[in-house]
Amino acid sequence: NISSLFHSGSRSSKTFKPKKNIPEGSHQYELLKHAEATLGSGNLRMAVMLPDGEDLNEWVAVNTVDFFNQINMLYGTITDFCTEESCPVMSAGPKYEYHWADGTNIKKPIKCSAPKYIDYLMTWVQDQLDDETLFPSKIGVPFPKNFMSVAKTILKRLFRVYAHIYHQHFDPVIQLQEEAHLNTSFKHFIFFVQEFNLIDRRELAPLQELIEKLTSKDR
């Protein structure tokens, strides 16, 4: 099961940001358990599908939180290798460079190192996830009208962390024997965003070949 993979105590996991917990006993917690159970079956295409009778917003919310936690863990394992010196810009290979802006605190995109960019990005995501008006955790509180567009922006940005890890830090990932982990997590992420059409193809370009390789076996 995928969650035990991510919580194996055999390695020092420095979580980069605090884990976002879904309250136990809540409907969202049940949905998360459902997601983990279907993931255990190994069929990722099936695992990402909206369960019968469930609300799409809620399903996207639960999975977005889960991906945030996974990426947090994965990036946490390689923070020693991602430094101001090694990664003075936030890139995904030579053709793709990202500049940070969140539209509120930083309106004009700034060029910054990868660790700084990822810190901004993960802090920004955490703030969205903690905002009860955007990600309501209480039963019966409706999702806002703009929920999907917010979720799409979060997922688009989380993708960039995967892209950076794959392009710039794949060697340490292999040394740490995290490769299977990273691939499973990323594949799950890609199947999910493909299922609900959540990230524009242009945004996925830095990892296009990998995406084709990982998803072609499961057509």
Query: Which tens digits make up the pLDDT trace of 4-46?
Result: 334 333 333 455 677 788 888 788 888 888 888 777 667 888 8
Question: Has residue 14 been placed in a domain?
Answer: no
87 labelled as ligand-binding?
Answer: yes
Query: Does 20 map to a domain?
Result: no
Q: Check the CA dihedral 37-39-41-43 and report its sign.
A: positive
Rg (CA), the chain: 17
Q: Which residues pair with 100 in a beta bridge?
A: 110
Tell me whether residue 18 is in a domain.
no
At 124, which CATH number? 1.20.140.30
- How many distinct structural domains can be found in the chain? 1
* CA distance to 21, 22, 23, per residue, from 26 (Å): 11, 8, 6
Residue 195 lies in a domain: yes
What's the CA gap between 188 and 167, in Å, rounded?
19
Range with the lowest mean pLDDT among 12-21, 115-124, 202-211? 12-21
**Identity at 121, one-letter amino acid code:** L
Was 82 annotated as part of a binding site? Answer: yes
**How many Cβ atoms are within 10 Å of 158's Cβ, its own excluded?**
22
Q: Which domain holds residue 146?
A: 27-216
> Could you tell me if residue 3 is inside a domain?
no
Q: What distance in Å separates the CA atoms of residue 159 and residue 155, rounded to the nearest whole number?
A: 6
Specify if 132 maps to a domain: yes
